Amino acid sequence: MLVSTGLSAGEKLAVLSVDGQYDLACACGTNSDDRRRRASTGDRWIYPVTLPNGGRSVLFKTLLSNECVNDCRYCPLRARANARRCTLTAEETVRAFLGSLRRGQVFGLFLSSAVPDTPDRAMESMNRVARILRGREKFRGYIHLKIIPGASDEAIREAVSLASAVSLNIETAGEKHFRTLSSSKDYLRDVIHPMRLISRLTARGASHSRVKQTTQFVVGASDETDRELVRYTGGLYQRLGLSRVYFSAYQRGVGDAGLPGEKGGRDLLLREHRLYQCDWLMRKYGFQADEIPFDQTGHLALDIDPKEHWARLHPEHFPVDVNRADQHELLRVPGLGPTTVKHILQWRRQSGRLRRLQDIGRPTRLLRKAAGFIVFG
């Protein structure tokens, strides 16, 4: 491990914010154009994100350290990998963040870290930054802290007490696939137990119920199927009450050459996009995980979105009469989203009958898709 010494805070940020690109914060898309995966064209720590509540914002986003003792095979910062290593101090991080905040460049802070020695020391570094901001600097804005796998319950409780949102990356669907990705971490002890603790601390009626919990899958590093990922996602929402689940396509070439994901095959960026569509179906459209259609290998079709795929497999539900259908039925129509369905219901209450597609809205590509699944009575 090559540790760089004598670097300024700005030089460290230049290294660490670039290394933070592998935690993509919902940078999903439909093609291989990776421009959406980059931060600003200037300071790489100025980073556009999708927040747990679905809103978009710009955060100051960086690792505190990229020195790591873990062997996560998908990660370019894993132990013994060839990377330029450095660590920010708490004071350097606070000064840099407050400078960006005062210039109006950012809304809040997103802190993560590799593990230079122990999980609790990495957590203490992040918690110290948050303590200084909340205490000495009286900052009451948005702070997202990454929870380090294997951190103690005490370190996690402090992070939850300081943060607006916390996340611990689940990485893959189940212990079997997790063992493919790492031998230095234990799935149940280091990942599942902390996620359950956070869920109890942030549950409705708990003392930190305002804090959002999220997680992220690394898609395609192991050989998990889309069915497994969707099933785990549904379970995380139903049993642990997570606010958001994110998906990050494995970036071939940065990990261990022996990983299943290095063998090529499916388009991982398009696969990531289809998984985000499934996530929306479960969170916004009333679908259950077991309703999502998969092929015989357990994967999502890449040539059709999962909602339209479901509709074509269930012709008995169509066409839907837009003048009679309830919200649940309308949300099942390909091309109709929550905003459009809300407009349809308002039109019916205020103006009476819808008679043509233009009454619903401007005939966009999505709305033209819906035309094949609806009638006007």
Task: Chunk the chain into consecutive blocks of 10 residues (it has 377) and report each block's average pLDDT, rounded to whole numbers.
Answer: 70 82 52 45 65 76 93 90 90 96 93 95 98 98 97 98 97 96 95 98 96 96 97 96 94 89 88 96 96 97 97 97 96 95 94 91 90 94
Tokens of 298: 């357990």
Tokens of 15: 């290294």
Burial of 201 (0-12, 13-18, 19+ CB in 10 A): buried
CA distance 358 to 344: 11
Q: Where are the domains of the chain?
A: 2-306, 314-375
> Quick one: pLDDT at residue 241?
95
> Quick one: pLDDT at residue 22?
62
Q: Which of 192, 136, 126, 193 is nearest to 161 (CA)?
A: 126
Question: What distance, in Å, lies between the first and last C-alpha atoms of the chain?
Answer: 69
> Quick one: pLDDT at residue 44?
65
Question: pLDDT digits over 218-272, tens only?
Answer: 999 999 999 999 999 999 999 999 999 999 999 888 888 999 999 878 899 999 9
Report whether 209 contacts 243 (CB < 8 A).
no
Report whether 147 contacts 116 (CB < 8 A).
no
314 φ, ψ (degrees, to nearest 5): -130, 65
Report whether 70 contacts 115 (CB < 8 A).
yes
2-306 carries CATH number 3.20.20.70: yes
> Quick one: pLDDT at residue 292?
98
Overall pTM surpassing 0.85 (yes/no): yes
Report whether 340 contacts 360 (CB < 8 A).
yes
H/E stretch holding 367 reads: helix 365-370
Dihedral of the alpha carbons of 109, 254, 180, 215, in degrees to the nearest 10: 20
> Quick one: pLDDT at residue 349?
92
If one counts every other C-beta atom within 10 angstroms of the C-beta of residue 203, the result is: 14
Fold category of 314-375 in CATH: DNA polymerase; domain 1 (1.10.150)
Tokens of 197: 């603790």
> Quick one: pLDDT at residue 56?
76
Tokens of 353: 């009958």
